[in-house]
A and B are shown apart, each in its own frame.
Chain A
Amino acid sequence: MIFSSIFFIFAFLPIVLLIYYLMPFKLKNLVLLIVSLIFYAWGEPIYVILMIFSIAINFVSGIELEYLMENGEMQKAKYACITTVVINLLILGFYKYYGFLLENLNAILPFDISYTQLALPIGISFYTFQTMSYVIDVYKGKVEAQHNPVTFGAYVSMFPQLIAGPIVRYSDVEKQLQRRIFSVERFGDGVMWFLQGLGKKVLIANNMGSVYESVMALGASQTSVLTAWIGCFAYTMQIYFDFGGYSDMAIGLGKMLGFDFMKNFDYPYTAKSITEFWRRWHISLSSWFKEYVYIPLGGNRGGTAQAIRNLMIVWGLTGLWHGAAWNFIFWGLYYGIILIIEKYILKEAMEKLPSIVQHIYTLVLVMFGWVLFCSPSLGRAASYMGTMLGIGGAGFADATALYYLKSTFLLGTFAAVASTPVIHKRFSEWIKAREVYKRAFCIAMYVVIFVISTAYLVNATYNPFLYFRF
C-alpha cells in the first residue's frame, strides 16, 4: 500500500486513526503494531513473517545484551552484538544481494551456479538499518533495552516510516514510545506535512517522472542535447519530490500519531558543494552510515590515507544500499571520490568562488550522478551522458526538445523554485501571521493541493515510488 493512493487516504487512514484515538494510551502501541503489520502484509503477505522474525531476533538480542553487560561479561556482549548485526546483514544480503552476488560470481567462475532471485521484501533496507542501530546502541549503552515486545515491534514496523524511511533511530523515539502528546494542533501540523508531501509526490514527482520516462524511451538518434538535459532535469526533480514528498508524508503521519521524526531532506539542491549536498540529502541515511560505519572504522583519526579508505568504503556501501547493481556502486564511489577531492583539494579554492558558480558546480555533478543512478546499465548511462555533452545525439536542440520544453516549462519552473526554501519560508510565516487573509490563503492552498492531488490519484495511471526498490 502506498500513501499516495485513494485507498490509503480514504479507507485505511481514517479507520486506523479512529481506532488509534479511541484506544486508551496503554493500548495505542499495540494498535500501531497491528495496523502496521496489516499495512505491510497488504503488499507483502508472505514477507510480513520475515519482518516479525527480524523484530523477534533483535528484541531478544537487546535483552540478552543488557543482561550480559549488567553481569560484566563485556566480551560475550561484544560477540552477541556482532552476531545479531551479522544475522541482520545476512537477511538483508540474502534477499537483496544474493542474485547480484551469484551473477557476478558466475561471470568470473568457470562454472555456473544456478539461483533464483527472490522478490525484494519492501522496506527491508530501511527496517534492517533501524534494528541494527538499536542493537548497536544497546551494546554501546546509548539506550536501554526495550523490554516490551509490543513497544519494540511498534518501533520497527511503524507504518509511516516502514517502507521508505526516514530511518528512525531507536534513540530518537525511545521516549515517544513511552509517552507522547496528542493535540488537535499537532494533528493539524501533521495534516499540513502530509498534504505538502502528497502534493510533492502526486503533482510534481509523478508529472516530472512521466517526462523523464518519455525522454528515456526516445532513441539516441532522436535525443538532442537539450532533450537530454530536460530529461535529466525531470529525473532530478522527480527523485527529490518523490522521496522528499514521501518523507514529508511520513513525518505528517507520524505527527498525527503523536510522533516526531527527524527531517530527511533540507533543500539539497541549494547546496554549494557536494559535501553540503550530502548533509541535506537523505539525512537519516548519511548520518546512519557516518555513525555506524565511518566512525567505527576510525573516521579520519588515523591520518589522511585511512580517512580516504574509510570514505571510499562508506560511499561504496551507500551506493550498494540503493540497489544490487553496479551502477549504484559506481554512483556511490563517484560521490566518494568527489567528497575526497572537495575535502583535501578543492575546499579552500571553492569557497573563494562566487556562490553562483558553486551552485552550478554542485547541481551539474548531482545531475550527472542521477544519470548514473537511474540508468538500467552502465553503458546506457555513458551514452546518455555523452548525449548531454553533445556526443552522438541529434544536434543541440530540435523540435522535440522544444515540445518537451513547452510541456514541462511551467511545472518544471515551479518545481525548481519549490526545491529552494522560498515558498516554504513564506508559507510558514503566513500560517502564523496575524492577518486573517494570510492564514486563510495558506489553508486554501492546502485544500487546493488536497483536491487536485485527489483528482490525480483517482486517475492514477502513473504512480510509482522510486524508493520502493531499496
Chain B
Amino acid sequence: MENKVRKQRSSKRRAYRGTYRIMAFSFIGGVLFLAIASIIKPDVRFSEEENRILAEMPKLSKEGLADKNYMTGLESYTSDQFVLRDFWIKMKVQCDLLLGKRELNGVYLGADKYLMQAPASPDEKNVKTNLDAMNLFAKKHENVKVNVMIVPNAVYVMEDYLPKGAPVRDQGKDMNNLKKNLSDKIGFIDVTKTLQQHVNEGLYYKTDHHWTSKAALYSFKAAAEQLGIENPITDYKAYTVDASFSGTLASRSGYHKAEDEIQVYAPEGVELQYLVSDSDNGKKRPTVYDRSKLKEKDKYQVFFGGNHAMVDIMTTNDTARKLIVFKDSYANCFVPYLIPYYNEIVMIDPRYYYENVETLMANKGITEALFLYNLDTFMTDNSIAGALAVE
C-alpha cells in the first residue's frame, strides 16, 4: 500500500518534471528556430503591407556606438527583418479586434470597414504663426484675391461611421477658430455642410486618409461662386482607373480587409488644352494623371504623380486669371477641376518649396491665391509661415 503511494508520487513527480523539460526545450527550440529563420531569410527592403522602408543592418562605427545609433539601429533591424513579419502584424490586429479594440495605431475602424485617422493634437503656436502669415500675405497683396479652403477630415464629416463615442478632436470647433482668426480680406470656404449632405456616397477612401475625386467635385461646385467662377461645368463623367487601392490607413492600422476604387472625373463635351510640368519633372505633358503610379503602392499619386515642391499648369484658356495654390495632397484631386477657368495654375507645396514665393508670384503675374488643405494637416503644419515669410 505504502509502496503504491510512493510509486504514484514519484510518477507524478516525474510527470511534472517532464512538463518543465518540455517547456525548456520548446522555448529554446522556438527562439532558435525563429532567430535562425530570420537570419537565413533574405532582407526585405520595402514592406508593401506597411508602406515603408524597413531597417537595414546598421554599420558598426565608433560614433554609432557612442550615440547609441548602432544599438537602436540593430534593434529596429531585428524587429523589421523578423521572419514572417506580415503574419505577426495580422495576428496582432486580429487579437486587438477580438479584444474589442476599434482603434488601431491611431486609426479608427468604423462602420462599413471605413478606416479613419484620428486627427493629431495641433501645436497651437504653429497654427497661429501660419494664420498670422496668411493674414499678412493677404494684406501685402491687395490686388490678389485670396481664398482659403480647409477640408475637414473623415472623422468629422462622417462622424456617424465612427465607433460610437470614440474620442476625437472636435474639428467643427477648429474650423470656427480658423474662420475667426483669418482677416476679412481672405475668403473662407467651408465645404463641411456640402460634404455632410453626401456622407454615404464615398467621400473619403476607406483605406486612405485622402478624400475622393467625388468629394472634391462636390466641393468644387460649392466653392465655385466664392472662387469667382461663373457657370462652372457641371457635366462630369466618372472613370474608374483602379479597383484595388489599399492606402496609407490600411498600412498604418494593419487592417487590410477593405479595398478602394480610384475614380477620376472628366468634363463631358469640353476639350481642354493644357501642359503640366513640375519641379521634379520638367517635361511638359498634356495630363494631370500619372498612370504609372497605379502600379505602385500609393495609388493616390495618380494625381500629378504625388506631391511636388511646385507644379505648373499652363493652359490655352482665353482668360488672364492666374492662380497660385498653397496646398497639401488634398489639392491634388481638386485642382484638375479648376483648369478650365485659368490661364495658369501654380501649385506650391510649402513643405518642399524653398524658393522665394514673392518673386515667383511677380514673375508669373499671379492674380489669385488659394490655400487648400485638409484640416488635420493644416493644424499640424509648420511650413506655411516659412514659405510665405520670405522678404
Q: Does B associate with A? A: yes
Minimum C-beta distance from B58 to chain A (A): 12
28 A–B contacts, CB within 8 A, in A order: A9-B31, A14-B28, A17-B28, A42-B71, A43-B71, A45-B68, A184-B21, A184-B25, A185-B21, A188-B20, A188-B24, A191-B27, A214-B167, A222-B167, A398-B165, A401-B165, A407-B103, A408-B100, A410-B98, A410-B100, A411-B99, A432-B19, A442-B19, A447-B26, A450-B27, A450-B30, A451-B91, A459-B88
Closest 4 A-B residue pairs measured CB to CB? A399-B165, A188-B20, A403-B165, A188-B24
- Beyond A217-B121, A400-B167, is A195–B27 a contact (Cβ under 8 Å)? yes
List, in ascending order, chain A residues with CB within 8 A of B91's CB. Answer: 451-452, 455
A-B pair count, CB < 8 Å, reads 150
* CB-based nearest B residue for A458: B88
Of the listed stretches B32-40, B190-198, B383-391, name the one at the interface; the rest are far from the partner chain: B32-40
User: Are the CB atoms of B26 and A443 closer together than 8 Å?
Assistant: yes
- How far is B79's CA from A460's CA once the two chains are assembled, in angstroms? 9
* CB-based nearest B residue for A402: B165
User: Are the CB atoms of A11 and B35 closer together than 8 Å?
Assistant: yes
User: Are the CB atoms of B75 and A5 closer together than 8 Å?
Assistant: yes
User: Are the CB atoms of B165 and A446 closer together than 8 Å?
Assistant: no
* B24 interface neighbour in A6, A42, A191, Cβ under 8 Å: A191
Interface residues of B, count at CB 8 A: 52
B residues in contact (CB < 8 Å) with A: 8, 11-12, 15-28, 30-32, 34-35, 38, 65-66, 68, 71, 74-75, 78-79, 82, 85, 88-89, 91-92, 95, 98-103, 105, 121, 163-167, 254
- A69 at the binding interface (Cβ < 8 Å): no
List, in ascending order, chain A residues with CB within 8 A of B20's CB. Answer: 184-189, 192
User: Are the CB atoms of B74 and A403 closer together than 8 Å?
Assistant: no
Interface residues of A, count at CB 8 A: 61
List, in ascending order, chain A residues with CB within 8 A of B98's CB. Answer: 410
User: Are the CB atoms of A10 and B165 closer together than 8 Å?
Assistant: no
* CB-based nearest A residue for B17: A185
A residues in contact (CB < 8 Å) with B: 1, 5-7, 9-11, 13-14, 17, 42-43, 45, 184-189, 191-192, 194-195, 207, 214, 217-218, 222, 398-404, 406-411, 431-434, 439, 442-443, 446-447, 450-452, 454-461
- How far is B19's CA from A432's CA once the two chains are assembled, in angstroms? 8
- How far is B297's CA from A184's CA once the two chains are assembled, in angstroms? 49
User: Are the CB atoms of A455 and B92 closer together than 8 Å?
Assistant: yes
Minimum C-beta distance from A461 to chain B (A): 6
List, in ascending order, chain A residues with CB within 8 A of B30's CB. Answer: 447, 450
Knowing that A10-B82, A188-B25, A452-B92 touch, tell me 13 more A-B residue pairs with CB under 8 angstroms. A6-B78, A6-B79, A6-B82, A191-B23, A398-B165, A400-B167, A407-B100, A432-B12, A433-B16, A439-B19, A443-B22, A455-B91, A460-B79
- How far is B12's CA from A1's CA once the two chains are assembled, in angstroms? 40
